[in-house]
Structure 1
């Protein structure tokens, strides 16, 4: 293994006293060649590649400055040499150099440098949890946002010194730079809190930045869903002129009858159907409870399956992008003349708006249709959860505890 320091030579005249070039460190070994700039800078006219530092005679630079610079180059070279290991990469080199220039971002523990960077610990959290692709993607997006926040505000998120003020600044950054809804900001802040709690459990800090921070609340409103009559109206719509739309219709209505998530829907094969019952482990909870969801299929669902038999190992429904599915659902509802006006919450203004259900429908409407209609008939959240894939005691069911007009009419009839 060999470590060398160098600069990327600039075309500078001999009389140029203002130009500066960053010093790079290069690590080479069998199958490895990585480079990283550090914060040391030097006038290109003063650099000696042979000496790995200042030229022996530079009259315009005092001895103290030259000696300090040269000693820092040697010190970094020595640290890289000592810390090198088989499997090291450019990320390792970048962090090592960063730790040299920012010692306050690290502390010593058991003879080793322990990072105090939130981003680094969030990466460790990600590696430790072994999430599915969706959860991993969400966590990586959070890490990217924190990194961008640090870069733009020149303020590192240190796990020992993060405060409620830092969290408020980060939430403001999300709102202004990403133009996202308050519910999405709440999701990001909740994820940030989860990572901070995990970091504290590792024993590397006692700091709780969320102490004194008022977590904003997500606002969802009352769930809207198709009635059974509307669902069957969609199923009976004439779509013979559009085979692709008809296929999307079958996917959507089947989802309305089993209540699964779209990510699970596209994985089902005939092997998931056992004696007229759909059996599967939801992707979202596979790494947690791993409970098997069993949903008995009604005759209409079985009839849909009869038209989608592509072989035991082939998906019942082809894999389509979710955004394309959502667009198709809205077109299908319009074709079926399912245009009932519903109350929705504008995610940006958080105010109520009235919209035709065909304008706001997504694949999640199918899941709500299954859950909502069952919950109206049987007020047993655990029973419904056993078929929807929700965790036991899920707070999601609180949103379905709405007394509808039919229930009110039935109640009033009791006092006639």
Structure 2
């Protein structure tokens, strides 16, 4: 990559000292040749293409002025070289130049905007008020980004490298994806990557394709948020191809299995397990996501139904979901009617998921189900009680409703899925009972 300063008006009249030529900057690299104008000007007769600044002998210009001008040219060229990323555009180059001349040009509040991706992710998490588990996920992604930056700086010798929301390109995404796939091999080879980062779990095996997709998909959401909030990006995901995740047919509890947990005798078991059972059953009966439960209060109960705006879609496509409460759901809430704020007790995500697996085991729900191995993307069989989690409740609500009415629009109005949702489409798998009903119709 090469950065060159040049002027377009090569000459002026011999004794003309008033004409001014604009200094342009050009960036050339494999597949890249972009130009942009700066605010620096110089008399064409004083310009040296070889020195990219003033000629050595210019009697009509003071030495301090020549040095200041030459310093600005060098500073601008160095900044462009430092912030350059493969795949940048002319707009990027112009923005770098504009920010050199006017450091606060892109911040109406007068403060310099920090566009480092790790800092932007922090602002994104704080401003959107994400759930505890989602915040933890983004913090984990930020730590991975810092390790990637350190890898580029220390191992690849790109000393000033930093992932920034406004300059990141699809080539940076490719490099980051490669790092994520191979980081488990770098832990012992380059221990410097982890020095001074505090206690953390170092990756012991490669990330699955679905795991990498999740990271990149979340980063795509962050960059879209940046574009909406005054931080223009290079839109790198428009030119970056991601392998979509592979999902199997959703499996869920039958009504009989659900009720076996609902009526499970938990006498002698810890109080927290009975609380987790109530939360899990309530979720099975209204179909909400786990992150929506802690936000529900008595005010969400309107005319015998629970009304809420799903937190996951409240920013992009907010819609009120209304689910009538049946007898079992009302009985669960009655057991916690003494609560003054939230409808149900507070819970930690990991403890909740562990409790769900324990409840399935106690209820004898150990049947084998088909799941997609995240590493091989092949179908494997696993006992349901070993892999159950909070999302099983949502699948149980949707799957059993669909078996009864087979009306996706009606069910989506209670599950909070948007129209045309690819996620909801997976719930429409037709099971053997439905197939038997159909073939019997033509018996």
TM-score by length of 2: 0.63
Structure 1 position 315, deviation (Å): 2.5
Q: Would the aligned equivalents of 1:171 and 1:185 in 2 still touch at CA under 8 Å? A: yes
Structure 1 position 191, deviation (Å): 2.9
Deviations 1:366-407 (A, max 9, x none): 011111112233333332222122233322111112121111
Q: Would the aligned equivalents of 1:329 and 1:363 in 2 still touch at CA under 8 Å? A: yes
2:175 matched residue in structure 1: 169
How many Å separate the matches in 2 of 1:118 and 1:378?
A: 50
Q: Would the aligned equivalents of 2:115 and 2:166 in 1 still touch at CA under 8 Å? A: no
Structure 1 position 161, deviation (Å): 6.9
- Corresponding residue to 1:403 among 430, 433, 438: 430
2:320 matched residue in structure 1: 292
1:63 matched residue in structure 2: none
1:258 matched residue in structure 2: 286
1:304 matched residue in structure 2: 332
Structure 1 position 182, deviation (Å): 1.9
Q: Would the aligned equivalents of 2:417 and 2:424 in 1 still touch at CA under 8 Å? A: no
- Structure 1: state its 5+ residue gaps: 1-74, 80-97
Does residue 130 in structure 1 map to residue 127 in structure 2? yes
How many Å separate the matches in 1 of 2:255 and 2:286?
A: 13
How many Å separate the matches in 2 of 1:246 and 1:258?
A: 19
Does residue 112 in structure 1 map to residue 102 in structure 2? yes
TM-score by length of 1: 0.67
Give SS of 2:145's match: helix
- Corresponding residue to 1:217 among 244, 252, 256: 244
Give SS of 2:295's match: coil
Deviations 1:101-155 (A, max 9, x none): 7553282217314799962597289459931223665555444433321221224
Give SS of 1:362's match: coil
- Aligned CA-pair RMSD: 3.6
CA distance 1:99–1:389, change in 2 (3 Å): farther
Give SS of 2:281's match: helix
How many Å separate the matches in 2 of 1:197 and 1:271?
A: 33
Deviations 1:177-232 (A, max 9, x none): 24433212112222333445566678987845445532111112111111111111
Q: Would the aligned equivalents of 1:107 and 1:116 in 2 still touch at CA under 8 Å? A: no
Give SS of 1:314's match: coil
Superposition pairs of residues 212-251 of structure 1, within 5 angstroms: 212-244=239-271, 245-251=273-279
Structure 1 position 276, deviation (Å): 1.7
Does residue 328 in structure 1 map to residue 355 in structure 2? yes
How many Å separate the matches in 2 of 1:357 and 1:262?
A: 19
Give SS of 2:381's match: strand
CA distance 1:331–1:156, change in 2 (3 Å): same
How many Å separate the matches in 2 of 1:124 and 1:254?
A: 33
Structure 1 position 157, deviation (Å): 3.8
Give SS of 1:317's match: coil
1:150 matched residue in structure 2: 149
Structure 1 position 176, deviation (Å): 2.7
Give SS of 1:174's match: helix
CA distance 1:382–1:118, change in 2 (3 Å): farther
